[in-house]
Amino acid sequence: AQSVTQPDIHITVSEGASLELRCNYSYGATPYLFWYVQSPGQGLQLLLKYFSGDTLVQGIKGFEAEFKRSQSSFNLRKPSVHWSDAAEYFCAVGPLYNTDKLIFGTGTRLQVFP
Amino acid sequence: DAGVTQSPTHLIKTRGQQVTLRCSPKSGHDTVSWYQQALGQGPQFIFQYYEEEERQRGNFPDRFSGHQFPNYSSELNVNALLLGDSALYLCASSQGQGNQPQHFGDGTRLSIL
């Protein structure tokens, strides 16, 4: 079955610290991978996407993610977290070359302390 | 450049009623998808519309139906509302078929009493 697992429900970091949010997926074919961010009361904003090529992808707001096929993972990273990064982060997977029916993980809530 | 817009932002209904939610896609987009996001969960795919037809559907009952208009805007209709239908309903738009990412609106918060 197709699924996305985000093992960390809630992560707390200090401002300026590095961040890594984990994402593992189960998918029958080569997937199209995304990270979205959701601030309270708002919709989802696309941070970055991967569908082919370099396995390290750069996104907006200083985020990057690395696709590791052997580990079925697509972890999100940021070298230095800002207080404004506090939000809910969702990993999603979809069929390659077809953005129908995205499957989302349950999300990781990031809290940032000053 | 207007993004995806949804209306209303909040809605309160009672069990058994019917509701219609509306979505205008981002300029230049012709494909609209609807998602249900329950509290503390990730979005769940309901269905997608392209060229005024339902192209793909998730695991939702027939109480959930939709429509797409010639201007690409879309409606989500839910009949016979249940308490479990309380959620944030998100609309996402994209361009055609292929590897174009979906852009999301801010959602409609539906509460069922």
Contacts with A88 (C-beta within 8 Å, 6 or more apart), sequence order: A37, A38, A39, A107, A108, A109, A110
Please count the other Cβ atoms lying within 10 Å of the Cβ belonging to residue A28: 8
Q: Do B90 and A44 touch (CB under 8 A)?
A: yes
Q: What pLDDT is recorded for position A31?
A: 81
Q: What pLDDT is recorded for position A32?
A: 87
Predicted confidence band of residue B1 (pLDDT cuts 50, 70, 90): low
Q: Do B40 and A51 touch (CB under 8 A)?
A: no
Instruction: Say which residue, A59 or A95, is predicted with more confidence.
Output: A59
For residue B7, report the phi and psi dihedrals to the nearest 5 degrees: -145, 150
- Reduce the secondary structure of A27-85 to three states and give it as a string: CCCCEEEEEEEECCCCCEEEEEEECCCCCEEECHHHCEEEEEHHHCEEEEEECCCCHHH
Closest CA in chain B for residue A10: B40
Longest dimension (CA), chain A: 42
pLDDT at A96 exceeding the cut of 60: no
d(CA A38, CA A59): 15
Of A41, A96, A100, the CB nearest to B55: A100
B contact test, residue of A2, A4, A37, A99 with most B CBs within 10 A: A99
pLDDT tens for each residue of B47-98: 999 999 998 898 999 999 999 999 999 999 999 999 999 999 999 998 876 6
pLDDT tens for each residue of B11-41: 999 999 999 999 999 999 999 999 999 998 9
Q: What pLDDT is recorded for position A82?
A: 96
